[in-house]
Amino acid sequence: MGKTQGNKKNNKLDKTTNDDMPEDEEIASDEILCSETESSNDSSEHFSKDEENETQIDKEIQIYFTSNISDDKYKIQGNTTYTIPIYFKRIDLSKMVKKLLNINDDDDNYDGSISFDFLINKKILRSSISEFLEENNILSESTIEIEYILCLKKKTSKHIDNISEWISKMIINENILYCSTFEGNILYYDLKSFNKIDEKMISNTPIYSFNVCKYIPKSDDDICNNHFQNMHQSVIGLFNGTMKVCLNEETDKGISLKSEIYLGNNEDMIKCIEFNKSYSLLISGGTDNKINIYDNNHILEELNNNTNSNNKRKIKNIITPKKCIYKEEGVITSLSFLNDNKFLCTSLNSNINIYDTIHTDIVTSYSYNKSILLSDIINDNLFVISDDQSIIKLFDIRCLNQKNVITLNGNKYYFHDKIITSLEANKNELYILSSSHDGFINIYDIRLNRSPIYTIKNENQLKYLSSIWFYNNDQNNSIVSADEKNLVIHQF
């Protein structure tokens, strides 16, 4: 509900906006005035020139702005109450905030054309304020708190590389992009310079699953040893069920393999590999309908022992899982950890299960009526899935009586025209990124229904094979995309 605020400045804003014209093409109205007048009750900053012309139709409402944007240049100073027309929409509020912040789109201090989105009671505004208040049963007589956030806008797209093989998986660790391919190769790119670092052939069979984490030394000696600061652990799942773990060193000359071992008990193609939050566990699943749980600390010990060994003919160690789960009835398609001990599992048999790694048992499940291909965790309460009909749906996890309950939000679903190839939540817990063979990358806001808030169309009408978020600083997101021939970064 709106909150009533006292002892604040009262402002009026003129009603001179055009909702049909894109904000980027509009000139901020000079009729927004900042002159102050004094009254016996309060001081008022009038934004309207023609207050006498107001009619009953032009109803007004009192608002105040808040924001969690960390950059001070986007913060409105003071706790001022403004009086505005109740028919105002996002575009009107955005122009108002830009005027209050003295934002000029040509100013070098701002990155291109700036605009804002607005939230009332944590719900995004996509209608007039009047319609929003009516739909959400909020009293217009109250002073309404409106939170403003920066809109997502693409600035540039930069070509990184021409690729001749289809990419199966992309992972970003710090500023390094790792790409596995269906030709059995791993490609490495520096996202600071956008240069290709190296390319390694891992297998003559396709790589269907792949994951990477930064090597975290366990012993005090290793922590102090700079030799281990540029190490990463990569895990590769192959078509024939082979699962290889490598310890690699990143050098100026490229990627150097320092040690490798193999993980056993995989009988068929591996579809997904996942680390838990602390990287102490590693799980895998695939077409053998089985989930293997490995002790990653033990894996790292073996990798480190092999690195320190002077034996030139190192034995190919095979590590077996510490636990196995045999409760899945179909091909396992995705695994995602909710925390260190609980993970989400989806499969072609249409079930969504949450498992506990300690007891290796199902905590809760949900019966879905389609085969599920991808999933990702948004936060402690929300996750998304995509199915074989190219539909993305939002699910809720709530804790009731010590048990997790999964519920489908039937109003939140999004879609592509062809198979979805990647699905990833943004760390802001609001955006979902998806790519598809239909040649589109979509960004969805989970507070809205159906329509994407931003779409990237492939200029060459090629299929998108994968896309991933890249967080290059606190304010800006980027997206790295791979189609059939190109690797591109889209900067926002």
Residues, the chain: 492
The total domain count for the chain is: 2
310 plus 201 within the same structural domain? yes
132 plus 170 within the same structural domain? no
89 plus 199 within the same structural domain? no
250 plus 226 within the same structural domain? yes
Res 273: pLDDT: 97
106 plus 168 within the same structural domain? no
State how far the Cα of 135 lies from the Cα of 117, in Å rounded to an integer. 19
Is 262 part of a structural domain of the chain?
A: yes
pLDDT digits (tens, 9 = 90+) for 192-217: 999 999 999 998 889 999 999 988 76
Give the residue from 118, 150, 182 where a domain finishes: 150
170 plus 189 within the same structural domain? yes
172 plus 138 within the same structural domain? no
Res 377: pLDDT: 96
Is 452 part of a structural domain of the chain?
A: no
**What is the value of pTM for the model shown?**
0.78
Spans of the chain below 50 pLDDT? 1-56, 223
Res 402: pLDDT: 58
Res 447: pLDDT: 82
Domain that holds residue 356: 160-417
Give the residue from 417, 437, 465 where a domain finishes: 417
CATH code of residue 143: 3.10.20.90
